[in-house]
Structure 1
């Protein structure tokens, strides 16, 4: 055992400082990356546009999506959202979906204020889908639940009606329900 220790000792004396130096360098590089990501997030939240590559960490991508959504640049946010969907961070994906849904709701409210009801409907529907997707990723997301409720009250889900003959409308009996608040949904 002494002979083995005698042979390994010089190698360990040289290898240990090199190993510790490499570990310290790795931690230093990771700290630098985190600091850089935090600065980018802070700049985006402060309203300063910052370029973000698709390979950026998920929190940076979510901050960029929120930045673009607040400015109505939804077409630029969609590719970043698909990158987030491919990743493993479900919380950041939920926040990005929520920001996108809020942007669509703001646009829909603007259209509703101008009386353009036909154009507002699809935006409300898309925002409801994004709120639901955010809740699928993070079920405890209370703000998304609240906003989904507001969006659902703006435009109700009506039964699928099968229109084939002129003014006559047919629907399957199990898809019909009353939509009047306070009215019972069942038999007597």
Structure 2
């Protein structure tokens, strides 16, 4: 028993003697690899922040589908504000794969706002038929956004506005220039929580 106890420290010293040069050589290499990785992350984040700032300032910047989620959201908002929704769709799909629910919700709300603006433009021009699907798409985007971020009050309000637009469209069979008949039952709006009848 005594010889085994005395030989154990000797074996450890011998093993450490064999591995010591490897460990001493590997430590600086591991430190260098860590420093390079940190430098790469800082460089990536700096570029991402510059791209986000440029997009928010209204400067167009190309963004690939492999960009970080925050950059994808900034690009989606930029495109939605300019009604370039066909370009935004692939970025929305990429954000849906990798982005946090809060970022995905903001992207859906931006799309809903763009669709609702398009619908209002069609309605102001008297084009009711093309406005209907735009309102439907806006409502769909708001619902998706609210599923991901239920506390988004602006999306709730805009969803309510979009829902009322569809319900309150004038009758489609009416001829051009024909006056609409006033319906006394529809004088007051159906505000949730308000009793029907007198105000």
| 5+ long unaligned stretches in structure 1 | 158-178
1:75 corresponding residue in structure 2: 86
Distance 1:180 1:114 in 2: 24
The answer to whether residue 178 in structure 2 is matched with residue 131 in structure 1 is: no
* Residues 42-78 of structure 1, C-alpha deviations (whole Å, 9 max, x = no match): 1111100001111111111111111111111111111
Distance 1:36 1:123 in 2: 35
Give the stretch that moved more between structures: 2-11 or 23-32: 2-11
Residues 20-99 of structure 1 aligned to structure 2 (within 5 Å): 20-99=31-110
The answer to whether residue 3 in structure 2 is matched with residue 3 in structure 1 is: no
1:171 corresponding residue in structure 2: none
**What's the offset of the Cα at 1:129?**
0.4
* Residues 4-37 of structure 1, C-alpha deviations (whole Å, 9 max, x = no match): 2222222211111110110110111011111111
Distance 1:47 1:154 in 2: 30
With normalisation by structure 2, the TM-score equals 0.74
**What's the offset of the Cα at 1:126?**
0.8
Alignment partner of 1:155: what SS?
helix
**What's the offset of the Cα at 1:88?**
4.4
The answer to whether residue 113 in structure 2 is matched with residue 102 in structure 1 is: yes
Larger Rg: 2
Give the stretch that moved more between structures: 12-21 or 78-87: 78-87
**What's the offset of the Cα at 1:84?**
1.8
1:111 corresponding residue in structure 2: 122
Distance 1:29 1:138 in 2: 32
Distance 2:189 2:56 in 1: 42
RMSD of the alignment, in Å?
2.1
2:183 corresponding residue in structure 1: none
* Residues 112-158 of structure 1, C-alpha deviations (whole Å, 9 max, x = no match): 2233233222211110100001111222222222221222222239x
**What's the offset of the Cα at 1:95?**
1.3
Alignment partner of 1:72: what SS?
coil
2:184 corresponding residue in structure 1: none
